[in-house]
Each structure stands twice: as C-alpha cells, then as structure tokens.
Chain A
C-alpha cells in the first residue's frame, strides 16, 4: 500500500498503481480499501511487536525492558516515518474499525506496563486506568512529534517518554536514572 503520498485516503486506483498490480490481484487479496488498510496496519504492528520482543530479550529488569521497548519503537518511527504515520496518525482517521484495531493494539501493551505495579508499594492505590492513560499519553507525545516532523530529536523524546512511563511505578529519580542509562548506552553504541 502506498504510504504518505496521498494524504489521508489513497483510493484503490492509487494503491494498485503504486503497487504495480492489477485490480483483479488487489481484489483477490482485499475486499476493498479499508481491508487493505487494516492489513497494512496489522503488519506494521506485528513487525514492530517482533522487533520489540527481540530488543528486550536480554533485559532482565522491568524498567529497562520498558525503556528499551520505547527506544525500539521510537527508532522504528525515525527509520520509517511513513509507516509510523499509518500506525499512529492515519489509523485514527481511517474508519471506526481501524480505530478499534489501534485501541486493541494499545490495550495489548497495557499488561506489560501493569507489571510495574509490583515494584511500587503504593500500587494498590493506583488509579485503575493508569496504564491505559500512560500508554495513551506516551503515544500522543510521539504522534505529535511525528506530525510536526520533530522525530529527529529522538533522544530527548526517548528520555521524556521513559520518564513518563516509569515514574508512576519506580519514582521520578529512578525513572530519570534508567532513562540516562539507556541514553548513555545508545550513545556508546553509535
């Protein structure tokens, strides 16, 4: 599917032309434009999930797992902003079904974040919607940077999103320390 060249809604004509396939081939695979978009979104999420799983495989501690996962997702967005735009921006406007897929993808990440409650003595008194809200907030910040074309400042974005995601569970100081450690390692790897 051609990404990011036709605004919010490329039509089937534009899709088949960009993909250099015929209408028969297109309709063999998809019922229409929406089905094509949903398949595209699913694939982006599936590949990002696999990349995150690989990135965090060697991390033992929950705060570093979350921080590394955020680093991986931001790196993916920087490497391919068109795909990120489909997954974070266009999906919200495409159709009610697409928006439901987006929310479901966010929901799948919530249990991982909720594991952080085990690290906080105050966890029993946390708001029930904390994870949903935190993920929504982090996603919104990344989305805004993407829309404004500011993803090049990826390290500051990563530092802030790590702090936002971890602070409720490990406290502000520990969240800052984890963020600083991850940024230092990334800088050394370059």
Chain B
C-alpha cells in the first residue's frame, strides 16, 4: 500500500496504474489483485487503516482533557502531529481520495464527519447554546477540511502544527465568542 501512497504523491492518483504499484512494491499484478482486488479498494483500505490510527490518537487526546476547548485543542494538536508524521498518507487522504471513486468519496465524508462530535461538544459551554446554529460544527469541520486541502496542495505547505491556533479560532468563535476565539491565537502548542 505504501507503493500506492508514494506514487500518488509523485503524480496524480488517477494516472497511477496497478502495474506501477505492483512493480514499485516488488510484486506482480496478480499479487496486487489477490491482496486488494482493485486500485480503488487498495485506496480505501489504505485510508481506512490510517483513519483508525488517526482517530485513536485524536480521540485519546480529546478524552484526556476535562473541559472544552482544552479537549479540542489537544485533539487538534494530535491530529496536526499525525499529519506531520504521515505527510504522504495525509496528502493521499486529503487530496487524492477525492478522485478515487464514489466509495472513496463516501469514506472521505465519513472521515470528515467523525470530527464533528468533538467540535459540537462546544455547544455545552456556549452562553446561549440554542442560539448557535445547528449546522455550526458541520460548517467548522468543512471549513477546516477545505483549508487543509488547500494547504496540502501548496508547493510549500504550511506546518500543520503552526496552523492549529487559527483552526482553533475558527472552531471556538461560534460557541464561545470572539474573545475566547482570539485567546486561542496566543496559546502555545503543548510540549509533548
């Protein structure tokens, strides 16, 4: 699977053939087909495995903090560090997955939506929870996913860890207001 990630990082996913993936991995087309069936299924398996690991770390960081937005900030840094440690897989999941077929698009939406609950937890701490629009978390997660996709496509992407305070600003503002959101811009990353 690493062969597919590497090739898709070097060129567009659509241009990569099973023959090339098999050759890069040191196997044959038959080996590839026996293991994955198709290129799309390989892409899905790859991203699903990465997502499970990512969510384990992100959710673990979220649950370790008692209060929102501390919990969301911890989750955001865990996510950013995972992106730094897995740049090619992250690029594949964020950008190339879009063009990996209809099932891959469904998976991409599931992944994006899996972060909703952690953002929506902010409603409990809002001064007037009922006045925060119902689709706030959806819009925050969609906005951040869009910014991440743009960043990942840049020739010199911005460090995801450095971008966390700005993402936190966007997530906190609808729930806790401008002051609390702006505070996020001044909080340094945790040391670990």
Seen from chain A, the residues whose Cβ lies within 8 Å of a Cβ on chain B are 7-8, 92-96, 99, 103, 122, 125, 127-130, 132-134, 136-141, 143-144, 147, 156-157, 159-161, 163-164, 167-168, 172, 176
Contact = CB atoms under 8 A, between A and B. Distances in A.
B189 interface: no
B111 to A, nearest CB: 13
Interface string B164-175: 001001100110
Given A127-B170, A164-B133, A164-B136, A147 B109 contact: yes
B169 A93 contact: no
B131 A103 contact: no
Interface of B: 12, 14, 98-99, 101-102, 105, 109, 128, 131, 133-136, 138-147, 150, 166, 169-170, 173-174, 178, 182, 185
A143 B146 CA distance: 13
A141 B173 contact: no
Nearest to B133: A160
A33 B99 CA distance: 15
Given A140-B145, A164-B133, A129 B138 contact: no
A95 B99 contact: yes
B131 A141 contact: no
Nearest to A173: B131
Contact of B185 (A127, A133, A144, A161): A127
Given A99-B98, A138-B139, A140-B142, A129 B166 contact: yes
B146 A125 contact: no
Nearest to B14: A95
- The 3 A-B pairs of least Cβ separation, nearest first, read A140-B142, A137-B139, A136-B146
Contacts of B138: 137, 140-141, 144
B135 A160 contact: yes
B142 A93 contact: no
Given A136-B142, A141-B139, A144-B142, A92 B98 contact: yes
A143 B109 CA distance: 11
Nearest to B151: A129
Contacts of A93: 98-99, 105
Given A96-B12, A141-B138, A147-B109, A127 B166 contact: yes
Given A103-B150, A136-B142, A141-B142, A8 B101 contact: yes
Contacts of B145: 136, 140
Contacts of B143: 133-134, 136-137, 140
Nearest to A144: B138
9 contacts: A95-B14, A127-B169, A129-B166, A134-B143, A136-B147, A137-B140, A140-B139, A141-B139, A168-B178
A122 B177 CA distance: 12
A176 B131 contact: yes
